[in-house]
Amino acid sequence: METTSVLIVDDEQEFASTLAERLELRGLAATSVASGEEALDRLRGHLEVPDVVILDLKMPGIDGLEALVAIKSLEPQVEVILLTGHGSSEAGIAGMQRGLFDYLMKPVDIAELVDKIGEAAARRRRSLAAEADAPAAPR
């Protein structure tokens, strides 16, 4: 079975690195960056396209919703989960309208987060398989 890769984007670097370690202990390949800009740089380089991005809402520079839109424009099949301590139902709805997979509040139960990551990764695999099976567009 393929290991699910997760990119954590959060300006609270201690939180992000601790979360990455906890996800690694559960068998996921997790890395973290401190800003939306760093996440976009990684995606633009196509060196590391994660299955799932865990994104903070409030960050310096581009915020979580802006980063979500940019991530989806670069890699539409990457699933994004917003994980924030500053959330509101409006932010969750705005995220869902922009292609967000799910919206969770900090502190989050690690088992719940791992389940959501698994669901998001499964949806990504289904999207990639459907894309591969789709007939080529006429030229």
Query: Which one-letter DSSP state was computed for residue 26?
Result: T
Give yes or no for residue 115 having a pLDDT over 70. Answer: yes
% residues pLDDT > 90 (the chain): 78
Contact indicator for 113, 104 with CB cutoff of 8 Å: yes
% residues pLDDT > 70 (the chain): 96
Contact indicator for 74, 41 with CB cutoff of 8 Å: no
1-5, 54-58, 117-121: range with lowest mean pLDDT: 1-5
Residue with tokens 């699910």: 4
Q: Where are the alpha helices (DSSP H) in the chain?
A: 13-25, 36-45, 64-74, 89-97, 110-133
Contact indicator for 78, 32 with CB cutoff of 8 Å: no
Q: pTM here?
A: 0.92
